[in-house]
Amino acid sequence: MKTANCNIMFLALSVAGLLFGGYFASMEWFVGPSYVANDGLFWTLPLVAYIFLALTSTGISILMTAGELLDNKAVKAHKLSLLTAALSLLIGAFAALATEMGSPFHVIWLLFSPNLSSPIWWMGTLYAVELLLLGFKYYLLLRGRPSNSEQWLTSAALCVAVAAALVLGSVFGTAVGRTGYQGADASVLTLLCALASGLSLAPLLFKEQAREVLLLPGRRLLAGLAVFLLTLYLYSARSTVLADIAWVQLWMPLLLLASMLVYKAKPAVSALIALPTLLLVELFFVIQGQLQVLGPKQTWLGAVQSYLPNTAEIAILIFGCSVAYLCFFLFNQLQVRLGGSSD
Amino acid sequence: MRYGMVIDQQKCVGCAGCVFACKAENHTPPEINWCDKLIVSSGQFPDVRFEYLSTMCNHCEDAPCVKGCPTQAMHKSEGGLTLHEQEKCIGCKACMENCPYGVISFNWQRPHQEWQENKGLAAGTFTPSAMLAEAGGEGSPLSNPERGSSYPIQRQRGVVEKCNFCDHRLKVGLNPVCVDACPSNARVVGDLDDPNSEVSKLIRKYDGKPLKPELGTGSKVFYIRRYTPENR
């Protein structure tokens, strides 16, 4: 009864979020710009919403495919839930990205005019391939058709997920490295963020008695990311380059450590701490490098800018999350109708 | 053939004639300047320096914007020019992120949308849209039809734009408009591959340097006789 009420509440919130975010998305597509973006600071919260949702989806995909390939019984038992979540989050990510790029068709056009030297092309293509692979895997699973190619499909989905998370770092590493010319660690950061967010969300998709299997990787990943961020923080604190203001803040690793401590006893609380922290880590990571305005735009925008997301940008984050939750809900309904289990 | 430009800092008077000429020639919206300025003040009182640097796309040899563009909208063209194809642009802004010189602009709004307004300053006066209908022109009455030979006169919302060295003028043997508009002849354009061209001679004579040479982008806009202590 409690779960049913909770589901209805989440569903109602998602529908409200879809309408609220959808209004701002359509404003952005058809009316005019509503974000706090300018020629100096052009990648803002809507793009970070894409990064966050895509990385969370990647983390879940990696967990699911790696568990499957390693023949882990607990992961295999929750395959459908994990697959549904990964697919829904990726759809939510693309919904947020479509608002950022001005038109949903731009996302599709990107795939058909390749520039192999562009990290953004690789990012778009890898995530599109990941979406297709997950979609195909879901179709096979839903139809209950065991396929000879399943092993191949799982391996391919794992490789693509890892590559996509790494490439995402190389795209946004240019943002953080804009002023200080450093950012080689960006790909490691995005991969760790993907794994940490995936493993933070995973316990909520698992039955209570099966969560044991997530404890070791989940805690290690959260601790690993906290150590990584702490190292970056200490490195930045010792930096002698004044212009290169550090994007890492001390509260980031501390919150991740707090989330790690309650990972076993209170997985929902752990996720509630870890996921917003990871979103903020990704936001700071993308924004900081852009705060320093380059070239002649300094004359018009000032040498340094500050950033606080506005209502429209927050609405797009809500829009992406709502699309993801509604897809998750609809996929689960589909599974129930087709007689499958929704785990 | 590689087009390059030399800007003589001791001839440049900072009049912004190049900025306005560019605006008129290329029909850029009010908030976008292909040719712009960078005001640099440095040092500590009393030893302070103020410099007015005219900037534009540097048409880099190894252009980071071209490398970063996922759809090849930003591409290298004849004469080493870095050009932009609006139809291929998806508005991802990767070129803006990659450009270390900050000279690529984004059309956040529909360019020249102020000319679509239907409200005059006072009753009985021309409205912008009526003025446009009367005077003609694409997007605004200030549009230049010659620009349309190689690039859309009226750009779309959601795409980037930047200086293309007035490629439409170069094609017919004319200089970029900023060069011709400069009242003190501070700008010279020419072939960097020809050792006898004026640009090559000026670069050699004054040890011309591009902006941020340490990045190795192969920028083709060179500055000579800057107001650095060694040039005083």
Q: Report pLDDT digits (tens) over A157-215.
A: 999 999 999 999 988 888 877 766 677 789 999 999 999 999 999 999 999 888 899 99
Any residues with CB less than 8 A from the CB of A115 and at least 6 apart, and which? A121, B67, B69, B70, B71, B72
**Model pLDDT, residue B9:** 93
> Residue A341 pLDDT more than 60?
no
Show residues of chain B in contact with A109, CB under 8 Å.
71, 88, 90
B195 to chain A nearest CA, in Å? 30
**Model pLDDT, residue A31:** 85
d(CA B112, CA B78): 30
Nearest CA in chain A to B54: A296
Percent of chain A beyond pLDDT 90?
Answer: 65
* Alpha carbon A105 to its chain's center: 21
Assign domain A42-165+310-343 to its CATH architecture. Answer: Up-down Bundle (1.20)
Q: Report whether B159 contacts B91 (CB < 8 A).
A: yes
Domain count, chain B: 1
> Residue A265 pLDDT more than 90?
yes
Q: How far apart are the two ends of chain A, measured CA to CA in Å?
A: 17
B67 to chain A nearest CA, in Å? 6
Query: The complex's ipTM?
Result: 0.88
CB atoms A109 and B90 under 8 Å: yes
Average pLDDT over residues B216-226: 94
> pLDDT per residue over B147-198, tens digit each?
999 999 999 999 999 999 999 999 999 999 999 999 999 999 999 999 999 9
Burial B116-126 (b: 16+ CB within 10 A, else e): eeeeeeeeeee
Nearest to A250 by CA among A268, A230, A280: A230
> Residue A340 pLDDT more than 60?
no
**Model pLDDT, residue A242:** 55
**Model pLDDT, residue A247:** 84
d(CA A240, CA A329): 50
Average pLDDT over residues A331-342: 77
CB atoms B70 and A101 under 8 Å: no
**Model pLDDT, residue A179:** 67
Q: Report whether A60 contacts A214 (CB < 8 A).
A: no
Question: Token match 């200086």: residue?
Answer: B163
Show residues of chain A in contact with B33, CB under 8 Å.
296
Nearest to B37 among A107, A178, A296 (CB): A296
> Residue B229 pLDDT more than 70?
no
d(CA A179, CA A189): 19
What are the start-end ranges of the H helices in chain A?
2-26, 45-69, 73-77, 79-100, 104-111, 119-143, 150-180, 186-205, 212-237, 251-261, 267-287, 297-301, 311-337
Domain that holds residue B227: 3-231
- Confidence category of residue A18, pLDDT binned at 50, 70, 90: very high
Q: What is the mean pLDDT of chain B?
A: 93
d(CA B9, CA A89): 54
> pLDDT per residue over B70-113, tens digit each?
999 999 999 999 999 999 999 999 999 999 999 999 999 899 99
**Model pLDDT, residue B120:** 86
Lowest mean pLDDT among A63-77, A227-241, A251-265, B119-133: A227-241
CATH number of B134's domain: 3.30.70.20
Domain ranges for chain A, please list them: 42-165+310-343, 182-290
> Residue A258 pLDDT more than 60?
yes
Q: Around Cβ A157, how many Cβ atoms within 10 Å?
A: 25
Nearest to A115 among B36, B70, B158 (CB): B70
> pLDDT per residue over A118-153, tens digit each?
999 999 999 999 999 999 999 988 887 666 778 888
**Model pLDDT, residue A143:** 81
Nearest to A106 among B90, B98, B101 (CB): B90
CB atoms A118 and B158 under 8 Å: no
Token pair, residue B143, equals 């549009």
Nearest to A170 by CA among A184, A157, A160: A184
Higher pLDDT, A337 or A254: A254
Percent of chain A beyond pLDDT 70?
Answer: 93
